[in-house]
Amino acid sequence: MNKLLNHTTMALLPKTVARPKYDFASRTASIVHIGIGAFHKAHQATFTDDMMAHTDGNYRIIGVSLRSAGMRDSLKAQDYLYTAIERSNKTEQARVIGALQEVLVAPEDPQSVVNVLSNDSITVVTATITEKGYCLLPGNTGLDLAHTDIQHDLNNPNTPKTMVGFIVRACQVRQQKNGKGFTFISCDNLPDNSKMAGKAILEFAQKINADLARWIKSNVSFSNSMVDRIVPAVTPNDIESYTLNNGVIDNALVTSEPFRQWVIEDNFNGDRPPWDLAGALFVKDVSQYERLKLRYLNGSHSALAYLGKITGHQFIHQAISNPILRRLVEALMVDMKRSLSSSMDFNFDDYGSVIIDRFLNDEIQYQTQQVATDGSQKLPQRIMAPMRELLAVDYLSKPMCLVLAGWVCYLSGISELGEAHPVSDPMARQLQNICTDKTLTSTQKIYRLMQIDGLFPAAIKNNTAAIDQISEYVTKIIDIGVFLTIDTVFS
């Protein structure tokens, strides 16, 4: 009978599975990661694992789950070891990652999380909690003080639920014991991500104590970062195949494409882990890289997710293999280039080609439904921001209007094939109430969506041509389908 991967059974793995190139058992943690999940395990943790092979520093990671115990349970059973598998072109490379020291589950014992975060040995806190985890107002203008979990944390500061509440409470403990500050690095797809997190944290702290807010401002650095790696959800077949090939069970493995990128603002309070030894890039300003990735990769991903899902494509690689959807993505990239080229000296065409090649990797089973989640949080950065900038120079992007129209049609919860799909979004009920109302015309639906506070920027809401174009595309998709609509737009 096969046994779980752990410190002992790792020796049973075939040589084709690489092991950590350092004595991970002798290293201690100086990094806390909030929101541990597949992306962190395939991205930041692999960078950290590679980094520790080139330095004697103590840079292991303590993970924090803000919700469930599932990830902790599977990792703890394996001594916090897991396998990261890179797949491309019918080949794969597997390696065991030793960067994780332990995982804490916040709802079980919030005080243990506060204790770790307030320990001076922790010099860096990273986070992947998705856009909605920052509890920001629509349009990301600041902290949503009316958010249920934020209200809980304000009223129960010793037992927080949110990242914001935990960070502020830990800072309060550090302040009280004259402790040191640290660096916070967001690894989520938000523009100006760590600065936005810092704004939310300071607004929360101000509600607790003005002196605490001043301490945070003086002692905590918020370093923006841009991350990039396609990490699909692991399937039971992935685990079964791994066990069959290697004779050891790994219930915590992750799969990803070979490509990875991490650009970090060089703005650290104290120790800076030398992630550059593993290929990360430290820069003065992340914003250009951030906007590039959000628009080219994430914007194209959203296009394929919404228009792909409603045309019956289960996976991203299937959607981009459709010549009509690929045509839309290529046209979208042309307009993304138009939105960026005036401020950035870069080979956009080569970058776009690399992205399409990555999408075509059929070894990465990335579901369109997975990418389609939380559109109200994602599309303002990915599609609406570049669209707003182009409208400012009197250019209306038809591909961007098509993506927004595809999103509206996706929100109906039914594909062109008559197949139902769930809509996972913080605003799902409000959005679906509008998009499934058969008494409304397409134009009326768009106007209703535009009235949702903070969802669409004023430049789009006040532009009649943009509203008319999106509405026209919604109607066409309903009447003649996605493919014929795209053909008519680009004929």
Query: What φ, ψ does residue 421 adopt, rounded to 5°?
Result: -140, 150
Give alpha helix (H) positions in 341-441.
348-359, 368-371, 375-379, 385-391, 398-410, 428-435
Q: What is the predicted pLDDT for the residue at 365?
A: 83
Residues 279, 374, single domain; the answer is no
Residues 248, 309, single domain; the answer is no
Residues 359, 435, single domain; the answer is yes
Q: What is the mean pLDDT of the chain?
A: 95
Summarize the confidence of residues 263-282 as an average pLDDT: 97
The answer to whether 22 and 263 have CB atoms below 8 angstroms apart is: no
How many angstroms separate the CA atoms of 279 and 215, rounded? 33
pLDDT at 491 over 90: no
Residues 233, 306, single domain; the answer is no
List beta partners, residue 3: 248
How many angstroms separate the CA atoms of 233 and 403, rounded? 24
Confidence of residue 54 (pLDDT cuts 50, 70, 90): very high
pLDDT at 194 over 90: yes
What is this structure's pTM?
Answer: 0.81
Q: What is the pLDDT of residues 152-161, one digit of tens each?
A: 999 999 999 9
Q: What is the predicted pLDDT for the residue at 269?
A: 96
Residues 294, 393, single domain; the answer is yes
Q: What is the predicted pLDDT for the residue at 346?
A: 85
How many angstroms separate the CA atoms of 309 and 322, rounded? 12
Q: What is the predicted pLDDT for the residue at 444?
A: 96
Q: What is the predicted pLDDT for the residue at 106?
A: 98
How many angstroms separate the CA atoms of 422 and 430, rounded? 14
Q: Tell me the residue range of the domain where 329 lies.
A: 288-489
How many angstroms separate the CA atoms of 295 and 335, rounded? 10
How many angstroms separate the CA atoms of 242 and 250, rounded? 7
pLDDT at 1 over 80: no
How many angstroms separate the CA atoms of 91 and 138, rounded? 42
Residues 277, 346, single domain; the answer is no
Q: What is the predicted pLDDT for the residue at 114?
A: 98
pLDDT at 139 over 90: no
Residues 280, 295, single domain; the answer is no
Q: What is the predicted pLDDT for the residue at 46?
A: 98
Residues 67, 161, single domain; the answer is yes
Residues 229, 92, single domain; the answer is yes
Q: Residue 236 class from Cβ within 10 Å (0-12 exposed, 13-18 middle, 19+ buried)?
A: exposed
Confidence of residue 219 (pLDDT cuts 50, 70, 90): very high
Return the closest-CA partner of residue 325 out of 293, 362, 300.
300
pLDDT at 126 over 80: yes
Return the closest-CA partner of residue 184 out of 285, 66, 171, 152.
171
Residues 169, 302, single domain; the answer is no
Both tokens of residue 215?
Answer: 């301490």
Q: What is the pLDDT of residues 349-391, one digit of tens each?
A: 999 999 999 999 998 888 999 999 999 999 999 999 999 999 9
Q: What is the predicted pLDDT for the residue at 56?
A: 94
Q: Which of 284, 307, 336 is the last residue of a domain?
A: 284
Tell me which DSSP letter residue 232 carries. Answer: P
Residues 348, 275, single domain; the answer is no
Handedness of CA 260, 302, 134, 68 (dihedral sign): negative
CATH number at residue 310: 1.10.1040.10
Q: What is the predicted pLDDT for the residue at 90?
A: 77
Q: What is the predicted pLDDT for the residue at 30?
A: 98
Q: Percent of the chain scored above 90 by pLDDT?
A: 92
Instruction: Give whole-number Cα distances, 298 to 229, 251, 397, in Å.
Output: 11, 29, 17
pLDDT at 273 over 90: yes
pLDDT at 189 over 80: yes
Q: What is the predicted pLDDT for the residue at 89?
A: 78
Summarize the confidence of residues 8-26 as an average pLDDT: 95
Cα dihedral value 246, 252, 257, 262, nearest 10: -130
pLDDT at 262 over 90: yes
The tally of domains found in the chain comes to 2
Q: What is the predicted pLDDT for the residue at 290?
A: 87
The answer to whether 57 and 274 have CB atoms below 8 angstroms apart is: yes
Summarize the confidence of residues 433-438 as an average pLDDT: 96
pLDDT at 133 over 90: yes
List beta partners, residue 126: 33, 185
CATH number at residue 28: 3.40.50.720
Q: Which of 232, 256, 284 is the last residue of a domain?
A: 284
Tell me which DSSP letter residue 273 carries. Answer: -
Q: Which of 258, 284, 310 is the last residue of a domain?
A: 284
Residues 347, 261, single domain; the answer is no
How many angstroms separate the CA atoms of 470 and 329, rounded? 17
